Amino acid sequence: MVVDDWSYWFSAASEHKFNADDFYWGFDKFIPHKELRDLGKGYLVEDTCIIEADVTVFEDVAGESQRSSKDTSNVAKEDPSQENMNAFFARISSSKNISSKEEVEEALTLIENTYPTTLKLLTMKEKFSDLPERAATATKDKIMCTNKEFVKVTLGRKLERCLIEFRKAKEETKQQERSIATLQLQAKVLLAQIEEAPKKKDNLLSEQKEMFELSRDLKAELDVLEKQWPEYEAKTKAAEEEEKKVSTEWHKMKQFVLSLKTPFYSSDLKPCSM
């Protein structure tokens, strides 16, 4: 299960005592570790999400003491026993004579051989008492490191999404800039048209005025012509009648000339067409 939202994520450190005799080592509410790899079963058990478990095992003090005793028994041939040391110091204390140089050196040798073993036991005891706290600190530090790693992954994903959104917004900004440039160009054209519009309006008004004056003059001439039209019609009718009379007379004259049939006609006279 992956949780991207930090507000839904939490961690907690806990301690549990192992029981080697138990089949589940004391964790009877959890499934075996080998089944965690089964994707069909999932990772949730009784509303618990298993993320990671760091286990530190310590042996008890008795086991450590027994092991230390075994180690000490292995070197018993080289180091004197406690009984020998007690007997040696009892013999020294009961003696009224001053110890010889050899006896003093022997006592110092016994003390020097015994002191490192005792110091080693004390040091091991101090380290053993300090191990649980060190283990808890190490576990806490590891959990903190895991949390930081999770935060790092989450921030990386958020940063990647932010970069994608930034590139998208940058491209949209460029498109808006191109749209603004186009609109500004159109606005310049519109402003030029707006500036030219009054001039065109004035020109159209002048043309309308001229056309009005011309139309008024033409109308006056037309009115005069309409008044004179009956007279022109009468003249036209008289002209048509006169033309008919002329044509009739000319036809008579032509017939007369053709009826003469003299050489004079053939040599000197030529018919005229109307």
pLDDT per 10-residue tile (average), the chain, 274 residues: 46 55 52 50 50 48 46 46 63 53 64 61 64 79 89 91 91 93 93 89 90 90 88 88 89 85 51 48
Distance CA 77, CA 73 (A): 8
What pTM value is reported for the model? Answer: 0.30
pLDDT of the residue at 258: 84
Query: Which residues are paired to 45 by β-bridges?
Result: 48
272 to each of 73, 251, 253, 254, how far by Cα in Å? 174, 10, 11, 8
Structure tokens at 60: 């008890």
> Quick one: how far is CA 15 from the chain centroid?
42
pLDDT of the residue at 88: 63
Structure tokens at 135: 């283990």
CB 11 within 8 A of CB 146: yes
pLDDT of the residue at 132: 72
Residue 27 DSSP one-character state: -
Query: Which residues are paired to 49 by β-bridges?
Result: 44
pLDDT of the residue at 68: 47
Max Cα distance, the chain (Å): 217
> Quick one: how far is CA 252 from the chain centroid?
113
pLDDT of the residue at 13: 54
Distance CA 135, CA 137 (A): 5
pLDDT of the residue at 137: 85
Tell me the one-letter amino acid at 7: S
CB 26 within 8 A of CB 16: yes
HSE-up of 48 (CA within 13 Å, CB side)? 11
